[in-house]
Structure 1
């Protein structure tokens, strides 16, 4: 009898066997890096079209300006509150555990300084000077802004823009089908990525800068627990059903460490398993993958306290408030790509007036903590969409399982 496995099961098999392969044959595991990179590139190739067409079509399908204002406002509030709270939790955990006192700076090279952007410069950088150039360079925030404006224009034009709206819907369907094709080989890509990680770093990676890793992971897990408790209490969804659904996403986040690369799976789970209407999913998740990075907020707070203790610097209450504020801004500006937090970490320490050569040490083990960051980031995106859908009365959870109240949702998820 032929045994058939679902995609999430295949990804889990690829994840676990990749880890074992990398430990047993580390040299061969490292040699598989190009295969893993090819998988990531195949996903990255489609990220810009996914973001543009999904966001534009999602906004256009809202149907009226009032709904756009309401859902857009809720999205920004939820994402901002999530990020700020994550930064506060990270700060508290770091101050309780106080990582950093037992490490030595010997042999640590000084990272090159980067120009720290002001808030004005950051906001200005969101506005593209050339639409095609923004897409070619993969400037996700700029592409999102373009897509939002196109979507709003379609809403305002109504039936006059029906042809463009249909084009965006159909283009979005084509891109998602291409993503299905890429995700069909994801177990092999995940296998290669995990084989490389374990072959390159080995288990000994977990013994280095242990206090920092511990504080970071504890902060991530606390924020994750709080987030899940809030969404379960508000939506009445079954905790086991929610964890089962999110587990499919976490298998991808733990291997790719990229919010953007996880977007296809997170959108699929949010739309099909959690029954969030496709127009909310298409609007919120691509946006969340760029600006709702709770894991990054936890990391930046822990890193600032870690570096301060490492160099014997006492942070005042005002400085700690600044850590959360700066961390929130940087987290919302962080690229949703593997290793993007290393750049943000350098900027965080430089803004806080702390030596930033420690980032050279963190970079060596960043993938270990980035697994938690990305998982929390994407969980926040999915949960945010679930909260908005519930607040709009678009889902209810009889017996703990989400059911859509939108007539067209059943057709979408089949």
Structure 2
């Protein structure tokens, strides 16, 4: 075993879920109160950090659109955003049609909040955020767009360095503590007698989400195939090694070499593939958006939260922007999206915790959808460029920053 080996995030989440169920069946009051206290404090810290995460990740992402490859960077990011929106709206439409038949409306609300069944924490620490989530989004847009216009080097460099700080906060504080937080959520649900019903409910949602990811890929490659006059199923078959690799790594960035190789085998020119594939590993998260929208709608349905179609449409548009900008570290997408879940959809702390747990539990399927769809976007950009793309410098990502497999260099 190498010196740098550690248990990955996904196994830790799995251990936390199982341990939460087992210990919850026999947990004494003092143990329950310890984890109630931790969840309250950690939840306060998340509330404080979310606006900073949004500003720190979205500002430099928008500012970077005015730099580097310029036109094709904007086109690629635009295609990624459209793909992300399609996935989100597909999840919304299917959820509105199917959920009434497979979920029981308001069952969690009828039986009470599971957190109410727990003892009070030993203490609480108030950590009010500097500003709200919507303020953070507006500030990020203003700063990001302003930097693309003024091209101010000093502020742009400050935004880049602030992003590094935020990435460190996520990777060294939030992500390592997530398993404990999720353990507390599951412990909470077990003590309240809710956990087995909720698990049964989400198993059916997981099946729906998996089927929807296949639909998204079929649509993406049908469009790419039509534009390139190529059989979409042949293109999709060529990209299967990237899909399989992402299932194992749960990392878009770590899968870049395989995705790049398969995209070129699919017929995408090397200049386009070497630029689009690394970029899409960061900005194209259709699978992640589909998962978040599907699970959020399911939680709203079983919790009795009113479902406003107009609000959900706005949520998907904002989620698409957040997904384009956010995922720089493991779990960064769902952590950044949790701000929208609370501010726009009115999610409580236990509901956000449940979202994080379910998102990470099937993270590999969303990631596999993301990277496979990157090949379709590369094929579309290759057709649009018609040889005029040139040889832009590829976007270089650090796979270690986006890996859930827990392996690091010694």
Question: Which category describes the TM-score, using the shorter chain as reference length?
Answer: 0.5 to 0.7
Compare 223-232 and 71-80 and name the one that shifted more. Answer: 223-232
2:213 matched to 1:227? yes
Q: Structure 2 vs 1, CA of residues 228 and 21 (structure 1 numbering), >3 Å: closer, same or farther?
A: farther
CA offset digits 1:30-55 (Å, max 9, x no partner): 43122233334444443333322322
Residue 222 of structure 1 and its aligned partner are, at CA, apart by: 1.0
Equivalent positions of 1:50-69 (< 5 A) are 50-62=53-65, 63=67, 66-67=71-72, 69=74
The aligned counterpart of 2:142 is: 149
The aligned counterpart of 2:159 is: 168
The aligned counterpart of 2:194 is: 205
Q: Which of 288, 313, 335 is equivalent to 1:328?
A: 313
Distance 1:163 1:78 in 2: 33
Distance 2:360 2:280 in 1: 21
Residue 75 of structure 1 and its aligned partner are, at CA, apart by: 3.9
Distance 1:13 1:106 in 2: 30
Unaligned 5+ segments in structure 1 are 110-133, 247-268, 308-321, 347-362, 395-404
Residue 388 of structure 1 and its aligned partner are, at CA, apart by: 6.9
Distance 1:292 1:194 in 2: 20
Distance 1:364 1:182 in 2: 18
Conserved? CA contact 1:135–1:143, under 8 Å: no
Distance 2:98 2:16 in 1: 33
2:245 matched to 1:241? yes
The aligned counterpart of 1:116 is: none
For 1:409, what is the secondary structure of its paired residue? coil
Cα RMSD over matched residues? 5.2
Distance 2:51 2:70 in 1: 25
Conserved? CA contact 2:253–2:278, under 8 Å: yes
Distance 2:136 2:370 in 1: 20
Distance 2:398 2:353 in 1: 40
Q: Structure 2 vs 1, CA of residues 204 and 274 (structure 1 numbering), >3 Å: closer, same or farther?
A: farther
The aligned counterpart of 1:409 is: 396
For 1:136, what is the secondary structure of its paired residue? coil
Residue 65 of structure 1 and its aligned partner are, at CA, apart by: 5.0
Distance 2:96 2:204 in 1: 11
2:100 matched to 1:88? no
Residue 182 of structure 1 and its aligned partner are, at CA, apart by: 0.7
CA offset digits 1:3-61 (Å, max 9, x no partner): 85234244544443343322331532343122233334444443333322322222333
CA offset digits 1:389-411 (Å, max 9, x no partner): 445539xxxxxxxxxx9645266
Residue 237 of structure 1 and its aligned partner are, at CA, apart by: 4.4
Instruction: Please identify runs of 4+ aligned residues in structure 1 that moved more than 6 A.
Output: 105-109, 275-279, 288-292, 301-304, 376-381
Distance 2:315 2:98 in 1: 20
Unaligned 5+ segments in structure 2 are 114-127, 219-235, 258-275, 320-335, 380-391, 402-410
